[in-house]
Structure 1
Amino acid sequence: MDYQVIKEGDLFILTDQNGDISRNNQNGYGLYTKDTRFLSQMEIYIDGEKPSRLSSTATKSYVASFRLMKEKKDVGAIEITRNRLISDGVLYENISFVNYYPYTTTFDFTAAFDADFQDMFIVRKFRTGDVGEIIGKEIKENALSVQYRGADNIIRETRISWNVKEARIDEERNVHFSITLEPKETQSICFFIVPVIDGQAGAVLSYEEAYQQLEKSYEKWYEETTKATTNSPVFNELFQRGRQDLRMLMTDVGYGETPVAGLPWFAVPFGRDSLITSLFMLPLNPEKVKGTLRTLAAYQGSKTDLWLDEQPGKIMHEIRFGELVNTNQSPFSPYYGTVDSTPLFLILIGEYFRWTGDLLLIEELKPNILNALAWIDGVIEQRGTGFLTYHQEAEKGFPNQGWKDSSNSVVHQYGDYAMSPIALAEVQGYVYQAKKELAPIFRLLGEQQKADQLEKEAEKLQRAFENTFWMEEEQYYTIALDKQMQQVKSVTSNPGHLLFSGLPNPNRSDLVVKKLMAEDMFSGYGIRTMSTEAAGYYPMSYHNGSVWPHDNAMILLGLSRLGYKKETSAVISSLLEASKSFAYQRLPELFCGYESAIGYAVPYPSTCSPQAWAAGTVFVFLQAMLGLTPNAFDKEIQLDPVLPENLNELSVENIHIGSGYLSLKIVRTNEKRFAIDILQNTTGFEVTCLSNHRAPQVS
């Protein structure tokens, strides 16, 4: 990565690898909250020159550290360490200086700050619009501030202060400190940067107090989530990185914590991204997904609004909180241009119940469930195709509204783009799965007629899908049907999601798996988004040939559930190997689809990292390795483990299922057999093993 980013709550900072936010930078560096840049410059100088970088790290997702120096060759240097964190809406920047000259030295340390309050969309050159103006700049004894009145009449302010009094502020509002150090002597200065919105601001602590507060919150997260260790350092590091990154990416906009999509540009709740990430988080702790369900329920569509692509019952795509949204210059307040968020919302509810048996949350969300089902059925009936389709309504919305939402992602075999309304293959699988999973829940609620209706609708959809989406010549499902109900005959990863839904008949599931694992789809570093033989294939394409970890994870959920152990092992092994190619062993949003034979995974030129559903992929690895399927209806936990090559032991502590926890250890005894020891089971569920393993025992 050519940047460093940390986040806590709704505040994040993006800088270069020196820790600087350069004035007029074109990379979008800054301090952001509520989709507004509250710091557009933060640079440091020693005697008027920028120090050079020795190293930078964000090994802990929530703390960044930069080691710099200002030297005289063959004489010595001033070493500068910048330690940075965010806590309760305040950015802390602790800068330490060490004198490595053999004599006493005095130097000028300068810090330059500015704030432009640009809307995120303007920073990214995604939108333009009418905006507000700077209304004041104040200088105090050891503080300065910048105030802005937006076109939305919200007063925004950036307050900057520091913990030493001996400072001089020049006419350009740069802050100067004259520092004298004996040899090996150290001195520190801490800056506190506070975004203020209509007078609301976080409380400033000392750096040490803020650090301890932050550490304790992460310790609490680790205590509340599943712990897994293996004999594989690669898996162990990826698992811990995933736990840490997801904690950083959690945000509460008023209805409980939910994972935002990713940093730096998508630090807000999404429909699809937050739902899929939450689905992956069920093995981590199903309690952690309740905030996602309540947040999306709170913003569920209530009216028809073409500007927002909103319809009653529809689950949103993305919500923003900046100036352009507040003044209706951008349709993200929220924007509803997604076809898959609504069925995914229902799938997450169904899967959450399977893990917890929590009918109280189901009853709480029942109006939202019924409204979501009504939206799905209404669109199917309105289009008259028998399938759930999408079509862009909002002038500034998205033309493609599945997870592959780039403009060229649904492409015919001859290279021309499909015209909407479009029916995506995986979306029909989501609808089928949602109705099948909700039917038994409605029976528990005493609504037999509704349950029967959902099952009949699911079966009808399945028959229509099998008759319409299957490409006989490819022995595979098409990615989509276009406006004319013609198949879009490109081979892509989308039908892989159908395995988890359970929609294909067994013979066709076998053929789907065979195609996914063929050389044109499986790169050795994961399953590609598009076959190398397709007209639209390009390994550096965003959606047409790249590898997306979350896409592979959705496929893995199906491979595991249907018992494709060899393929499950291969996909997990390939992505573990790919993770070695990335900073902090962090799987990115996507990477290029080149063959693994080249020896390393090729980064995609611009990608979110950390990214929520990529971080959550490792928890799908865990679930698939355990072959874990909880079933609250029968109060049963099924295990059918498979461990990738070179991974021979797996210990898991405190998987939250039912009313308690499951802890267990799996040890490979030969190529196909595993010993399973149940170390703890307070779930209230019975544990059963599906295949040829030693019977689980409580130790």
Structure 2
Amino acid sequence: MTDPSGDGFPREPEGPAKPDPTERTPFYIPATATAARPRHTLKHGDTFAVLDSFGDIGASAGGPDGLFDHDTRYLSRFEMLLAGSQPLLLGSGVRDDNLTFTVDLTNPDVYRDGRIVLAKDTLHVVRTTYLWGGTAHQRIHVVNHGADGAAFTLGFVFGCDFSDLFEARGMRRDARGTMSEAAEGDRVAFGYAGLDGMPRRAVLRFAPAPRRLASGAATYEVALDPGASFTVTVAAECSGPRPAETAEFRRGLVAANRAAKALMRGVATVDSSNEVFNEVLRRSTADLYMLLTDTPQGLYPYAGIPWYSTTFGRDGIITALQMLWIDPAVARGVLARLAHFQATGFDAEADAEPGKILHEMRGGEMAALKEVPFGLYYGSIDSTPLFIVLAGLYLERTGDLDAIRGLWPAIERGFAWMDGPGDRDGDGFLEYARADETGLQNQGWKDSQDAVFHADGSLAEGPIALVEVQGYAYAARHGGARMAEALGFGERAAALRGQAEAMRDRFDAAFWCDEIGMYAIALDGAKKPCRVRTSNAAHVLWTGIVKPERAARIAAEVVSPKFLSGWGVRTVAVGEPRYNPMSYHNGSVWPHDNALIAWGLARTGQAEAAECVFSALFAASACFDSRRLPELFCGFRRRRGAAPTLYPVACAPQAWAAGTPFLLLQASLGIEFDPAARAIRFRNPRLPAFLEEITLRDLGFAEAKVDVTLRQVGRHAALRVLRNTGAVQVSMLLD
């Protein structure tokens, strides 16, 4: 590779970027303005908040501000004014564990009759916000640091629009329900009678009671001696599908802190010799456990904030897979919840077919009225095989045969769907085509309407068989065979294994494109391959369906300058007809996509290529705010002294982005579990160049845990056991 510019990074033929088509899907998320203030997020349960850097909601343009619960915005504006003006920002940030968001502010110069009556930087204001039990709590603490007394007003401007989440992200509605508002004493109540018959209520409670409380505004008259302070607490309660839990500010904060610590108890932790990587891991951990939601079926990682804070099948499965080695309880919750909502009949509007695993569920008014099809929506071609894959990997990780026995009927229904409605033409491949025009046009993880196309740029017409989905189906059948054997179903195991192997040669013959050095992204409805270089083709590496002679060629492609931007592997290679580094799926970089690719590279013996991907993602994560990997970022070439280019409406945090470092670590260390033998094995462990040493603590099975350190020595890593509490066998295997 040449480097004519001398900036240290390989070149690639950029070529002209082709814009996305102007025709958008109904569920496209528009980017209409640049946020005037950075946004920060908090989440607890089904409630999340998006606040700006001042701690306000709706005070500046360009952000999806609000307090949301069950896909409804309960607070659309909450702005604090100091002496009638916006305060000056000193600094703000979310705590490392995502529990609280704290803002430091001060007053501007305040004039009266042409003279300064309150000099700037006299008052220090600390705003602390957290969520607990369907309620947003905020404490405003003001201290007078001046030499003289200070008299000023502390005001709040607020509003509630009860917008459905899809309205908040840009969709228009022909009709809405009716709203009401009533203020009295220390509180103001907003009501909304929705068209779905669901009453929704938001209550703002102030303590102490304001001097004046009227429609949309509350005011305090404050007089402080030098060194004196004044405190206001505000609780914003969301009462929708379930009553909110209210608590005094301090008691609620203590309860939230205890719950967060309990959630992390027994989870394996990672520490390394690289402090920046440690910060990445801490942020990822905090994001993952903030997104975890306690559902009736168990813990479930909601997909992301602000647009995807709900149950998504594919996202939840992949996140659980990424977390499996550190916390298998997440996989248990994901499997139980998806089995509970598995489709039992045919429903064209919901793209539901018997045995199919959920794509997405929503709890807002528009979903209830079917203005959007996502109340319970099944338009995903890959959730079902991935569900079975996760179940098999969960058994390998934990040995929890009782859980698999309980899930087996759902697993068999999933196989029945794969052999029936999922294989539309009976050719042994899984294909999709939406059953209703309101559904998603593309139903793989790249679900933009222009994400599947031919080498001439024309969009593929369905039914479409995606390359990665066939790999998932192969892995599902092998995983199903192992589960069937463990349950004593020998004949079923043999049948599943036979099905898997029967499709391997057919898959290679149908999808391999020698001229591009990798698999086609898909077969269209006429079984014509879409001969374009995409990251989809590299997903199949981890599934086992790839013939050994193909793996090296795929590895060479994905780490070439056409794919590897320097910050990660692009979704579409430079030079392909729809390549656009600013598109959602056609040239951007997705962290979870890279993690799955690196895992597959490592599993097929392409360790150097896997390390390239890991190192690129680490370099990118070091540049992002709070070391947080976003849902995606632009695929522009890495340039010296410049950070990765952000994608304007990417979710952050996003669950499978937060899980990325953990799957990258598993790929590098080759971590394997044998619960029956109480054994942990590290197969061909290899630390990336930016890590000299890494320590894993509380790794193991239930009460049998170990702490180990791995240090890079030559081509491989040296292993040392620091603690062993349950006679766990720890070994290193070198192939």
Could you say whether these structures have the same fold, taking a TM-score greater than 0.5 normalized by the shorter chain as the test?
Answer: yes
Paired with 1:270 and 1:683, the residues of 2 have a C-alpha distance of 36
The within-5 A match list for 1:570-609 is 570-599=612-641, 600-609=643-652
Task: Using the TM superposition, give the Cα deviation of residue 386 of structure 1 relative to its aligned residue in structure 2, in angstroms.
Answer: 2.5
Offset from partner CA, 1:8-53 (integer Å, 9 cap, x none): 1111111222222227966331110011111111111123222232
Contact 2:434–2:440 at 8 Å: present in 1 too? yes
Residue 433 (1) aligns with residue 475 (2):
yes
Q: Tell me the residue number matched to 1:87.
A: 132
Q: Tell me the residue number matched to 1:666.
A: 710
Counterpart of 2:262, as a letter, is K
Q: What is the aligned counterpart of 2:694 among 625, 637, 650?
A: 650
The within-5 A match list for 1:425-504 is 425-504=467-546
Residues 1:65 and 1:354: Cα distance change in structure 2 (over 3 Å): same
Task: Using the TM superposition, give the Cα deviation of residue 65 of structure 1 relative to its aligned residue in structure 2, in angstroms.
Answer: 1.3
Counterpart of 1:358, as a letter, is D
Counterpart of 1:9, as a letter, is G
Counterpart of 1:609, as a letter, is A
Q: Tell me the residue number matched to 1:528.
A: 570
Counterpart of 2:103, as a letter, is F
Contact 1:286–1:656 at 8 Å: present in 2 too? no
Paired with 1:343 and 1:423, the residues of 2 have a C-alpha distance of 14
Residues 1:23 and 1:104: Cα distance change in structure 2 (over 3 Å): closer
Q: What is the aligned counterpart of 2:63 among 21, 27, 50?
A: 27
Paired with 1:545 and 1:319, the residues of 2 have a C-alpha distance of 28
Counterpart of 1:564, as a letter, is Q
Paired with 1:675 and 1:614, the residues of 2 have a C-alpha distance of 29
Counterpart of 2:220, as a letter, is F
Q: Tell me the residue number matched to 1:308.
A: 350
Residues 1:635 and 1:377: Cα distance change in structure 2 (over 3 Å): farther
Residues 1:183 and 1:398: Cα distance change in structure 2 (over 3 Å): same
Paired with 1:597 and 1:178, the residues of 2 have a C-alpha distance of 53
Paired with 1:178 and 1:677, the residues of 2 have a C-alpha distance of 64
Q: Tell me the residue number matched to 2:234.
A: 191
Contact 2:39–2:63 at 8 Å: present in 1 too? no
Q: Tell me the residue number matched to 2:185.
A: 141
3-state SS of paired residue (2:151): strand
Task: Using the TM superposition, give the Cα deviation of residue 103 of structure 1 relative to its aligned residue in structure 2, in angstroms.
Answer: 1.3
Counterpart of 1:30, as a letter, is G
Q: Tell me the residue number matched to 2:432.
A: 390
Residue 71 (1) aligns with residue 108 (2):
yes
Residue 367 (1) aligns with residue 405 (2):
no
Task: Using the TM superposition, give the Cα deviation of residue 94 of structure 1 relative to its aligned residue in structure 2, in angstroms.
Answer: 0.4
Task: Using the TM superposition, give the Cα deviation of residue 522 of structure 1 relative to its aligned residue in structure 2, in angstroms.
Answer: 1.2
Contact 1:355–1:658 at 8 Å: present in 2 too? no
Q: Tell me the residue number matched to 1:13.
A: 49
| TM-score normalised by structure 1 residue count | 0.95
The farther-off stretch of 547-556 and 378-387 is: 378-387
The farther-off stretch of 399-408 and 58-67 is: 58-67
The within-5 A match list for 1:409-420 is 409-420=451-462
Q: Tell me the residue number matched to 1:250.
A: 292
Paired with 1:429 and 1:143, the residues of 2 have a C-alpha distance of 57
Identical counterparts, % of pairs: 34
| TM-score normalised by structure 2 residue count | 0.90
Contact 2:353–2:421 at 8 Å: present in 1 too? no
The within-5 A match list for 1:197-276 is 197=240, 200-276=242-318
Task: Using the TM superposition, give the Cα deviation of residue 184 of structure 1 relative to its aligned residue in structure 2, in angstroms.
Answer: 2.9
**Alignment gaps of 5+ in structure 2:** 1-34, 111-115
Residue 619 (1) aligns with residue 659 (2):
no
3-state SS of paired residue (2:124): strand
Q: Tell me the residue number matched to 1:114.
A: 159
Q: What is the aligned counterpart of 1:54 among 60, 77, 90?
A: 90
Contact 2:565–2:637 at 8 Å: present in 1 too? yes
Residues 1:252 and 1:130: Cα distance change in structure 2 (over 3 Å): farther
Q: Tell me the residue number matched to 2:400.
A: 358
3-state SS of paired residue (2:107): strand
Task: Using the TM superposition, give the Cα deviation of residue 487 of structure 1 relative to its aligned residue in structure 2, in angstroms.
Answer: 0.8
Offset from partner CA, 1:151-191 (integer Å, 9 cap, x none): 11111111111221352113x34111101111232211000
Task: Using the TM superposition, give the Cα deviation of residue 334 of structure 1 relative to its aligned residue in structure 2, in angstroms.
Answer: 0.8
3-state SS of paired residue (1:403): coil
Paired with 2:270 and 2:369, the residues of 1 have a C-alpha distance of 47
Task: Using the TM superposition, give the Cα deviation of residue 328 of structure 1 relative to its aligned residue in structure 2, in angstroms.
Answer: 2.5
Paired with 2:283 and 2:671, the residues of 1 have a C-alpha distance of 22
Q: Tell me the residue number matched to 1:695.
A: none
Offset from partner CA, 1:488-520 (integer Å, 9 cap, x none): 011011111111101111111111111111111
The farther-off stretch of 635-644 and 233-242 is: 635-644
Counterpart of 1:120, as a letter, is L
Counterpart of 2:511, as a letter, is F
Counterpart of 1:94, as a letter, is R
Q: What is the aligned counterpart of 1:126 among 171, 194, 200?
A: 171
Task: Using the TM superposition, give the Cα deviation of residue 127 of structure 1 relative to its aligned residue in structure 2, in angstroms.
Answer: 5.2
Contact 1:380–1:386 at 8 Å: present in 2 too? no
Paired with 2:172 and 2:362, the residues of 1 have a C-alpha distance of 13
Contact 1:234–1:576 at 8 Å: present in 2 too? no
Contact 2:700–2:728 at 8 Å: present in 1 too? no
Contact 2:381–2:422 at 8 Å: present in 1 too? no
3-state SS of paired residue (1:511): helix
Paired with 1:483 and 1:604, the residues of 2 have a C-alpha distance of 32
3-state SS of paired residue (2:377): coil
Counterpart of 2:48, as a letter, is F
Counterpart of 1:688, as a letter, is S
Q: What is the aligned counterpart of 1:422 among 464, 473, 480?
A: 464
The farther-off stretch of 290-299 and 45-54 is: 45-54
Q: What is the aligned counterpart of 1:165 among 205, 209, 215?
A: 209
Paired with 2:728 and 2:93, the residues of 1 have a C-alpha distance of 44
Contact 1:521–1:531 at 8 Å: present in 2 too? yes
Task: Using the TM superposition, give the Cα deviation of residue 614 of structure 1 relative to its aligned residue in structure 2, in angstroms.
Answer: 0.4
Residues 1:634 and 1:449: Cα distance change in structure 2 (over 3 Å): farther
Offset from partner CA, 1:334-385 (integer Å, 9 cap, x none): 1111100001100100110110011101011111001001001103543233
Contact 1:23–1:40 at 8 Å: present in 2 too? no
Offset from partner CA, 1:531-564 (integer Å, 9 cap, x none): 1121111111111111111001111221222332
Contact 2:419–2:428 at 8 Å: present in 1 too? no
Residues 1:183 and 1:84: Cα distance change in structure 2 (over 3 Å): same
Residues 1:177 and 1:38: Cα distance change in structure 2 (over 3 Å): same
Q: Tell me the residue number matched to 2:365.
A: 323
Offset from partner CA, 1:316-336 (integer Å, 9 cap, x none): 110000111122322112111
Counterpart of 1:203, as a letter, is E
Q: Tell me the residue number matched to 2:143.
A: 98
Residues 1:323 and 1:24: Cα distance change in structure 2 (over 3 Å): farther
Q: Tell me the residue number matched to 1:403.
A: 445
Contact 1:34–1:322 at 8 Å: present in 2 too? yes
Contact 1:231–1:649 at 8 Å: present in 2 too? yes
Q: What is the aligned counterpart of 2:377 among 335, 352, 366?
A: 335
- Tell me the C-alpha RMSD between the 2 structures: 1.9
3-state SS of paired residue (2:608): helix
3-state SS of paired residue (2:263): helix
Counterpart of 1:508, as a letter, is R
